[in-house]
A and B are shown apart, each in its own frame.
Chain A
Amino acid sequence: MKQLTRVCRYAFVVGALGILSTSVHAAALLAYKEGVSPDQEKADRNACHEWAVQQTGFDPSSIFQAQQAGIDTKTILKVTKQLDVAAGHSDPRWGAGGLAGARGTADVRRFNDLYASYLAAGRLCLQGRGYTVAQ
């Protein structure tokens, strides 16, 4: 129980995946390593973020900062929407106004697949560094 509490205390949501047109499923990556300091864990996570970006070519940029700022990261769409707002609505993933940025479910699926690949790479990286990663 004590360990579980510790896991929860140090648990750090790397990301979550959700939104398809008709179904919503969310999954969080939680990582725990015995004896690791919060600073070391943060450094490992940042290193794994960079590695995952290199491997997948997809960067859900500033996701860590978004989480630290208390932004809801339940779905990649919410993350990128907040990032778009922070970037003064210049994020090309959200397109222009009116009908110009409209998208279909295939666009959403492609987006989520990229994010899923990024998360999978991040999970592998953290496991390689000795973390137990739960989903």
Chain B
Amino acid sequence: MRIFFFIICVSLMASVSSAPSVAAEKSYLCAINDVYECVSVTGCNRISLETANLAGVIVLDIENKKLKSAPIGQEAKSVDIENLTFEDKFILLHGVGQNSPTPRSFSALVDTETGNLSAGVSTPDASLALVGKCTAQP
């Protein structure tokens, strides 16, 4: 009987420790706190979310590999995440976007322990640097 309980305990511990910490989370709700625009010569300046055409909150849908935004009173928009990888406690992603007439590339890293989000958007004219905070949505 003792051996039986021991085996159960060991197998439970093994399953908990081997499970990736992010696998259980289907999505993350991320608030964008600051956006900086960096250009050559003049450097980086803080810009508003409205200027950057960004919603204050975005959803990282890991299950469907999509990045969504849903400004209040508007329907959600989404874009496919081209690459989504998990490294230790970090989620890394990359995708391609469009703000007519030019394309743009975006990438982000989420620390699943602290919730810290750091992201970047590359446009033909500038590089946008974003920082924020994410919360897991089970």
Contact = CB atoms under 8 A, between A and B. Distances in A.
Contacts of A107: 99, 102, 123, 125
Interface string A84-116: 010011001111111111111111100000000
B106 interface: yes
A96 B77 contact: yes
Chain A contact residues: over half helix, strand or loop, or mixed? loop
Interface residues of B, number: 43
A19 B53 CA distance: 12
B85 interface: no
A99 B69 CA distance: 8
Given A19-B51, A21-B51, A101 B99 contact: yes
A98 B53 CA distance: 10
Given A19-B51, A21-B47, A100 B100 contact: no
Nearest to A93: B100
Contacts of B47: 21, 104-105
Interface in B42-73: 45, 47-48, 50-55, 58-60, 66-70
A96 B123 contact: no
Given A21-B47, A106-B126, A107-B99, A100 B67 contact: yes
Contact of A98 (B48, B78, B99, B123): B78
A85 B59 CA distance: 20
Contacts of B60: 98
A97 B99 contact: no
Interface string B69-107: 110001111110000000000000001111110101010
Given A96-B78, A96-B98, A102-B52, 5 more contacts: A92-B98, A98-B67, A101-B54, A102-B121, A104-B52
Interface of B: 35, 37, 39, 45, 47-48, 50-55, 58-60, 66-70, 74-79, 95-100, 102, 104, 106, 108, 119, 121, 123, 125-126, 128, 130
